[in-house]
Amino acid sequence: MKKLFGTDGMRGKAGVFPLDSKSIRTVGASLAEHLTQKLGRPPSVVIGRDTRESGEWLEASLTEGLISFGAQCRSAGVITTPGVAFLTRTLPADAGVVISASHNKYQDNGIKIFAPSGQKLDEETEQQIEADIYSGDAENVNDDSVHAVNNTGSADQLQQRYLDYLINNINERQTFSDLSIAVDCANRAAYSLAPKLFERIGAKVTLINCSPDGRNINRDSGSLHIEGLQRAVVKERADLGVAFDGDADRALFVDDEGLFVDGDATLWVMAQALSSRGELSTSTVVATVMSNIGLEIALREIGLRLVRTDVGDKYVLEELLRSGASLGGEQSGHIIFPNLSLAGDGLITTLLLLRTMKERGASLRELTTGLKRYPQVLVNVKVKGKVPFSEIPNLMQATLRIEKELGGNGRLLLRYSGTEPLARIMIEGSSQQEIEAYAEELARVIRTAIRVD
């Protein structure tokens, strides 16, 4: 039985298993049934979606399955993923569901389920839902119990509740009337919320990619295509620009000169800010193995520590909760402040960055100084089998020698792709020519042992 839920929910082409109407109806019925068994009462569920053309009928199918087992459903309409996580935690609801495929093309869609804590659904319940989908239990929902959706609290009211939280609790009612911001909403979930938020805090706002039609989602826009935002910042002479991904759990920035500011640079700025206020627990920042070694070195030079995890916000969050650290994230712009939210939230990240600029009286460009990005090379080697690296002749010997030569100013990472027959070699160091030579040396060793003819 193929696993349907990945680290970021269940995704696929809308209308095709497991994102067909019957399967999604089963997801709703199964979730309601298992929550009822656990709680001893029918659950309450809040649902949000992005702007894909498939979102409405997927929400209708999900809701039909949920209410067939007595669940009380509340629709928040088009809203960000962290917005649903917030509502799930504070309404409170017994579960929150987001219908979105983040940065994927518009033909795709997906389902993410949150627990009341704001964390993603536990693996055991995901496995139970998967088993119900494969067993065809969509035919067994309680059709007699289906009734109209209980929309106590309209979508507008739920969205307003989230906006009020951002303005009153996160922004602490600060105003930024002297600030000019260019905002790229990727024609996605933040297209309505982001403009309202930044206008309410007094900023002058220039909007791009903020007219969704169901199909232009992520099209040459947002955090995957930062070039349009860079042009807008320069043209409008904005103080900074922010680009959100599809469901706005990530944010990437552009400074006043149009230069790109990624998640590593954001972590660097926020680590300094939290540390100066005595709010950086354990003097530690959590990032993934893909963060540039320049971030690790810069933090080390001011007495802070970087802890790395596997790629994925799920693993960053697990380490934050395990260690008690108060800041973590990914190079992709997914930043987590666990004391505020267990879900990455691009709107929260932006507000905290603006607060830091105001407190320091500095531009984003000035705040990112001190972070030196080291050259990086990534080589993919096609392989016929994923043999443990330790079993490849001469590879470990070469790896240990290169790591020693790189010293504290370089980094080497070997890993297999999770979805393709590829061995990935990533090396960072002070010399581009040197790391390219090292990477090609390791690639030759791997090709010799397990190359594809």
Q: Quick one: tokens of 27?
A: 């997801």
Token pair of 371, please?
A: 């972070």
Backbone φ, ψ for residue 112 (5° rounding): -120, 135
Report the distance separating Cα 224 and Cα 212, nearest Å: 17
DSSP string, 76-121: EEE--HHHHHHHHHHTT-SEEEEE--TTS-TTEEEEEEE-TTSSBP
Mean pLDDT, range 90-101, rounded to an integer: 95
For the segment 2-16, the average pLDDT, to the nearest whole number, is 89
Residues 95, 113: contact at Cβ < 8 Å? yes
Residue 444 one-letter amino acid: R
Asked if 192 and 334 sit in the same domain, the reply is: yes
Q: Which DSSP symbol is given to 6?
A: B
Residues 143 and 75 both lie in one domain: yes
Phi, psi of 47 (to 5 degrees): -125, 135
* Whole-structure pTM value: 0.88
Residue 46 has pLDDT above 50, yes or no: yes
Q: State which of 337, 367, 397 marks the end of a domain.
A: 367
Is the pLDDT confidence value at 7 over 80?
Answer: no
Residue ranges of alpha helices (H) inside 207-312 are: 227-236, 263-276, 293-301
> Do 209 and 187 contact (CB within 8 A), yes or no?
yes
Residue 97's Cβ-side half-sphere holds a number of Cα atoms within 13 Å equal to 30
The one-letter amino acid at 87: L
Kindly list the distances between the CA atom of residue 36 and the CA atoms of 139, 331, 383, in Å, as whole numbers in the listed order: 19, 39, 47
- What per-residue string of b and e applies to 66-91 under the rule 16 or more CB within 10 Å gives b? bbbbebbbbbbbbbbbbbbbbbbbeb
In angstroms, the Cα distances linking 112 to 84, 120, 168, 185, 269 are 10, 7, 27, 20, 30
pLDDT classification of 138: cutoffs 50, 70, 90: very low
Q: Which residues contact 343 (CB under 8 A, 6 or more apart)?
A: 81, 82, 85, 86, 114, 118, 249, 336
Nearest to 100 by CA among 321, 319, 343, 317: 343
* CATH number for the domain harbouring residue 362: 3.40.120.10
* Domain-ending residue, one of 106, 128, 154: 154
* Residue 310, number of CB atoms within 10 A of its CB: 15
56 and 127 part of one domain: yes
Cβ neighbours around 168 below 10 Å, total: 10
pLDDT tens, position by position, 18-42 = 999 999 999 999 999 999 999 999 9
Q: Which pLDDT tens digit goes with each residue over 255-285?
A: 999 999 999 999 999 999 999 999 999 999 9
User: Which CATH number is 399's domain given?
Assistant: 3.30.310.50
Q: Which are the contacts of 75, defined by CB distance < 8 A and separation ≥ 6?
A: 46, 47, 48, 59, 63, 149, 151, 155
Q: At what angle do helices 155-165 and 81-90 cross, to 10 degrees?
A: 90
Q: CB neighbours of 25 closer than 8 A, spacing ≥ 6?
A: 61, 62, 64, 65, 68, 138, 141
What integer pLDDT is reported at residue 246 of this predicted model?
79
The tokens for 38 are: 């656990």
Instruction: Say yes or no: 249 and 358 in one domain.
Output: yes
Q: How confident is the model at residue 222 (pLDDT cuts 50, 70, 90)?
A: confident
Q: Which domain holds residue 72?
A: 10-154
Looking at residue 282, its pLDDT comes to 95
Amino acid at 16: V
Are both 115 and 254 inside the same structural domain?
Answer: no
Looking at residue 117, its pLDDT comes to 86
Measure the CA–CA gap between 385 and 66, rounded to whole angstroms: 43
347 and 446 together in one domain? no
Residue 230 sits in the same domain as residue 320: yes
Is 2 domain-assigned? no
Pair (179, 286) in one structural domain? yes
Domain boundary among 367, 385, 408: 367
How many domains is the chain partitioned into structurally?
A: 3
Same domain assignment for residues 271 and 335: yes
pLDDT class of 143 with cuts at 50, 70, 90: very low
The position carrying tokens 């809701």 is: 63
Tell me the catalytic residues.
102
- At residue 123 the predicted structure's pLDDT band, cuts being 50, 70 and 90, is confident
CA 208 – CA 212 distance, rounded (Å)? 11
What is the rounded distance in angstroms from the CA atom of residue 209 to the CA atom of residue 229? 10
Residue 285 in contact with residue 269, Cβ under 8 Å? Answer: no
Do 407 and 432 sit in the same domain of this protein?
A: yes
Structure confidence by residue, pLDDT tens digits, 283-297: 999 999 989 999 999
d(CA 394, CA 446): 9
- Is the pLDDT at 140 greater than 60, yes or no? no
Using an 8 Å Cβ cutoff, are 351 and 341 in contact? no
Q: Is 419 found in the same domain as 355?
A: no
Q: How far is the C-alpha of 205 from the C-alpha of 214, rounded, in Å?
A: 24
In a domain, 284, yes or no: yes
Residues 353, 241: one domain?
Answer: yes
* pLDDT tens readout for residues 346-383: 999 999 999 999 999 999 999 999 999 999 999 999 99
pLDDT at 327: 98
